């Protein structure tokens, strides 16, 4: 069986890797493309209606659409010739998606790929934020306070683009890092902080919500979808207390977090595959 995963802007390589391994484990021969290819299954990860090829009509037996990015995947599928019905994987209970069979869930996470096999290293960073600075401080009521706290959190380190602009960050702003480096930093951190775009907040998950806990690093974030209990993910909108007094768990607690997160995401992948009519 053939599976074509569509990612038109090549963003979110962590999700792409998870999807490839997930569908390979379900028995598919997987290709990655920016447009539909002949396949039994089309998987839409990131796509935009403006990039539809008029000759891109498909006759795949099934179409899986992942709604985690909250961008234009739904509009793309609705405009794609040849798609009558599709399965929409989403964490929202009510979604305007005519013709869709709603599948409640996140994109798959292949836990054994991200979780460490051996002991965790000692904590090097009491707390971290991994992600580019968002240019939304003027319109997002949570972004500006987050940056004020970041500027005076003397033991919180920031990885990603544009944090050097927040004074007085100094050597706490480290710039861009690779996906591999991200895992190593989470393994060496006491806790992590996250903030999402307003249009994603409370509607989906970010990568740090599974990458952090799978590496023994609890994540504090401003919101997550309701009725979703994720190992190592805690919600707060008052970062000041957290940034001033980071919470570093004992080594045994960090290893226990890795184990619980790994079990959660392993079971979640099995459940998702079964709901989609596959076996993982």
Tens-of-pLDDT digits for all 280 residues of the chain? 999 999 999 999 999 999 999 999 999 999 999 988 889 999 999 999 888 876 666 778 889 999 999 988 888 888 877 777 789 999 987 667 777 899 999 999 999 999 998 999 999 999 999 999 988 877 888 888 888 888 878 888 999 998 888 767 888 999 999 999 999 999 999 999 999 998 999 999 999 999 999 999 999 999 888 888 999 999 987 777 776 666 788 999 999 999 999 999 999 999 999 999 999 9
Length of the chain in terms of residues written: 280
| Closest alpha carbon to 113 in 246, 199, 22 | 22
Measured CA to CA, the distance from residue 78 to residue 63 in angstroms comes to 11
Q: Which of 136, 73, 106 is nearest to 229 (CA)?
A: 106
H or E stretch including 45? strand 41-46
Q: What is the pLDDT of residue 192?
A: 94
Q: Are 67 and 95 in contact (CB under 8 A)?
A: yes
The alpha-helical segments, DSSP class H, found in the chain are: 13-25, 73-79, 111-114, 143-152, 179-187, 208-214, 239-244, 251-275
pLDDT value for 169: 80
Q: What is the β-pairing status of strands 86-90 and 62-66?
A: parallel
| Contact of 69 with 7, CB cutoff 8 Å | no
């Amino acid at each position: 069986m053939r599976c074509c995963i569509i990612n038109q802007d090549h963003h979110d390589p962590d999700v792409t890797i998870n999807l490839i391994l997930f569908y390979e484990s379900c028995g598919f021969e997987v290709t990655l493309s920016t447009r539909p290819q002949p396949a039994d299954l089309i998987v839409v990860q990131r796509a935009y209606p403006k990039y539809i090829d008029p000759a891109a009509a498909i006759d795949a037996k099934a179409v899986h659409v992942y709604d985690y990015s909250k961008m234009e995947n739904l509009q793309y599928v609705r405009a794609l010739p040849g798609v009558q019905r599709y399965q929409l994987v989403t964490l929202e209970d009510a979604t305007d998606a005519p013709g869709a069979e709603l599948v409640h869930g996140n994109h798959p996470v292949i836990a054994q790929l991200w979780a460490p096999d051996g002991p965790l290293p000692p904590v090097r960073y009491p707390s971290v934020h991994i992600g580019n600075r968002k240019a939304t401080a003027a319109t997002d009521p949570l972004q500006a306070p987050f940056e004020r706290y970041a500027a005076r959190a003397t033991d919180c380190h920031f990885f990603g683009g544009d944090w050097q602009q927040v004074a007085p960050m100094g050597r706490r702003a480290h710039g861009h890092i690779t996906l591999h480096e991200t895992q190593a930093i989470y393994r060496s951190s006491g806790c992590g902080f996250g903030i999402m775009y307003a249009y994603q907040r409370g509607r989906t998950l970010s990568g740090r919500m599974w990458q952090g806990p799978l590496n023994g690093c609890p994540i504090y974030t401003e919101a997550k979808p309701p009725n979703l209990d994720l190992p190592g993910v805690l919600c707060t909108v008052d970062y000041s207390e957290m940034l001033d007094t980071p919470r570093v768990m004992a080594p045994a607690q960090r290893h226990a977090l890795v184990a619980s997160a790994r079990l959660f995401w392993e079971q979640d992948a099995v459940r998702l595959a079964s709901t989609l009519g596959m076996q993982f």
